[in-house]
Amino acid sequence: MSETLQIYERRWNFGIFEGTLFSIHPIKLEREVNMTYGAEVYYPVGSVMVRAVVHDEKDSMFLPAVYQVEDVDILDGPPIEGISEVVSYEGLYGDLADVGQTIVVKGKLERTVRKRDNHEHYRILVGSPEGKGKEYIKLLPQK
């Protein structure tokens, strides 16, 4: 199956009603938002391509789509330990991968520092201005 068809078949939030294309984009209620603007600082590290397994996708239907990942293998880019998150501002990749699925991600690697306790981890941002439309999330076939 082509990658485009694979993505298209998973899309639940697009449709046509009486000849008009529409999309639905869920948002969190204010009480469901557990982060405040400016609570984290993001430092660019470079471009990266990884293979990873999704272990939490509960925030993947929102914008930005957030996937928690594990078993991260760096295919291209700096050899960084501690990549735990994939964040996509490209709506196409929202709600794409399920828990246990392996994905390949190309995007902007960022070091994330939480201000209140200086906790840091790394994330991959898909849809950055620097990526110029060449960043992506791809699903690998299930075994």
- Going residue by residue through the chain (143 aa), what tens digit of pLDDT does each one get? 566 666 666 677 778 889 998 888 888 888 888 888 899 999 999 999 999 999 999 999 998 999 999 999 999 999 999 999 999 998 888 889 999 999 999 999 999 999 999 999 999 999 999 898 899 999 988 76
Inside any domain, residue 123: yes
User: For position 63, what pLDDT does the model report?
Assistant: 87
DSSP letters, 85-132, are EEEE-SGGGTT---TT-EEEEEEEEEEEEETTT--EEEEEEES-GGGT
User: For position 29, what pLDDT does the model report?
Assistant: 86
DSSP letters, 25-90, are -----GGG----TTSEEEEEEEEEEEEEEEEEEEETTSSSEEEEEEEEEEEES---S-EEEEEE-S
User: For position 8, what pLDDT does the model report?
Assistant: 62
Inside any domain, residue 7: no
Beta bridge partners of 122: 83, 111
Number of domains the chain is built from:
1
User: For position 91, what pLDDT does the model report?
Assistant: 83
User: Residue 110's domain is classified under what CATH number?
Assistant: 2.40.50
The closest alpha carbon to 99, from 139, 45, 128, belongs to 139
What's this model's pTM, rounded to 2 decimal places?
0.87
User: For position 1, what pLDDT does the model report?
Assistant: 58
Inside any domain, residue 14: no
Q: Which residue range is the domain that position 76 belongs to?
A: 39-139
User: For position 142, what pLDDT does the model report?
Assistant: 75
Inside any domain, residue 53: yes
Inside any domain, residue 118: yes
Inside any domain, residue 132: yes
| Residue 132: alpha-carbon gap to chain centroid | 16
User: For position 13, what pLDDT does the model report?
Assistant: 73
Count of Cβ atoms closer than 10 Å to residue 126 Cβ:
22
Inside any domain, residue 12: no
| Residue 131: alpha-carbon gap to chain centroid | 14
